[in-house]
């Protein structure tokens, strides 16, 4: 197992783009990061630079693919490897309508042999790890049967790493948001899967919000993947390197992270990328801190629109530091 699988940040549509990942890498040096899902067709026929470019600082970094055609996925996986990604991950867990209409994502839980064929084709095309992210089942499937069947089929195809979102996906009747919250979590089922397949790397996902929860799960499985908590309150990741990976160096402070982001923001603006492409990911950085509300307000009011200078980030930091100083004097 690659040690970085001990703690991963989930692929999240519209959230974990390259700018968010650059930001997260300033908080944790070791967590494995995942791209938003990119379809195999988009990679084969679309603007590859726009879809696949990333900063070298983002490693270790996995590319998540969506698709169900083994040949197309193999081609896309090879392109991803050549682009410099460290891992190719197949989405077998997303319940979005966009995904169902393309015959991939969580609906593939019903077709374990097809998933295995896709994994075998991708493994034959690349020399980097090829992994699966799935649910415990869909709709009326029995997870006690469906999940081991999928894992067993993919294991026979040579897959060694499985990321399990410990909820069912209901493809009819629930929205993607509801599918992240309403189906009950079944962590014991994932623990049992690790017992059943001790040679495989099993990573648990779903409803994990703290490092305390992470450490509890790591007593039962090989790794943990965190999703929305890492986006909404990202600075909790600052303790990941020390508590999960045993690092000794201190993490950057929130203020130091902003200072490191300013040159990055200047490069974006120089390339005619709107500053908001970065700042939209930063809203939760000062969550729970003095000045946190002012930080969000300042960015919301000043970082949106055309021709916004990178200096807005410094302005937001100044507001936070001023509020912090006032709070210290008041106490």
Q: Catalytic residue positions?
A: 94
Q: 81 CB contacts (<8 Å, ≥6 apart)?
A: 88, 125, 126, 127, 128
Q: What are all long-range contacts of 278-282, with beta carbons under 8 Å and residues at least 24 apart?
A: 278/19, 278/23, 279/303, 279/312, 279/313, 279/316, 281/15, 281/17, 281/19, 281/20, 281/23, 281/231, 282/23, 282/258
C-alpha to C-alpha distance for 315 and 95, rounded to whole angstroms: 40
Angle, alpha carbons 221-226-232 (nearest 5°): 160
Between CA 11 and CA 37 the distance in angstroms is: 7
Q: 306: buried, middle or exposed (CB in 10 Å: 19+, 13-18, 0-12)?
A: exposed
- Residue 215 CA to residue 243 CA, distance in Å, equals 9
Q: Exposed, middle or buried: residue 288 (CB in 10 Å: 0-12, 13-18, 19+)?
A: exposed
Which neighbouring-strand residues pair with 134? Answer: 92, 164
DSSP 3-state assignment of 136?
strand
């Amino acid at each position: 197992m690659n040690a970085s699988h001990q703690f991963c940040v989930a692929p999240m549509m519209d959230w974990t783009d390259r700018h968010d990942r650059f930001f997260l890498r300033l908080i944790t040096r070791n967590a494995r990061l995942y791209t938003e899902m990119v379809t195999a067709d988009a990679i084969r026929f679309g603007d590859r630079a726009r879809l696949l470019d990333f900063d070298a600082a983002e490693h270790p970094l996995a590319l998540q693919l969506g698709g169900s055609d083994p040949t197309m996925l193999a081609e896309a996986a090879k392109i991803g490897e050549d682009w410099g990604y460290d891992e190719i991950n197949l989405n077998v867990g997303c319940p979005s309508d966009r995904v169902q209409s393309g015959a991939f994502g969580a609906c593939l839980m019903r077709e374990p042999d097809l998933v295995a064929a896709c994994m075998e084709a991708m493994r034959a095309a690349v020399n980097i790890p090829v992994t699966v992210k799935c649910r415990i089942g869909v709709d009326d499937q029995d997870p006690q049967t469906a999940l081991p069947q999928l894992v067993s089929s993919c294991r026979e195809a040579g897959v060694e790493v499985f990321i399990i979102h410990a909820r069912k996906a209901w493809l009819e009747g629930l929205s993607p948001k509801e599918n992240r919250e309403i189906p009950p979590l079944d962590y014991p089922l994932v623990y049992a899967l690790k017992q059943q397949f001790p040679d495989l790397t099993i990573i648990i996902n779903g409803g994990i919000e703290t490092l305390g929860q992470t450490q509890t799960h790591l007593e039962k499985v090989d790794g943990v993947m965190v999703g929305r908590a890492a986006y909404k309150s990202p600075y909790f990741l600052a303790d990941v390197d020390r508590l999960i990976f045993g690092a000794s160096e201190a993490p950057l402070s929130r203020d130091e992270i902003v200072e490191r982001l300013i040159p990055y923001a200047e490069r974006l603006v120089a390339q005619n990328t709107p500053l908001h492409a970065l700042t939209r990911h930063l809203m939760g950085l000062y969550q729970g801190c003095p000045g946190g509300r002012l930080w969000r307000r300042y960015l919301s009011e000043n970082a949106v629109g055309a021709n916004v200078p990178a200096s807005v980030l410094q302005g937001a930091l100044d507001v936070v530091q001023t509020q912090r100083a006032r709070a210290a004097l008041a106490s």
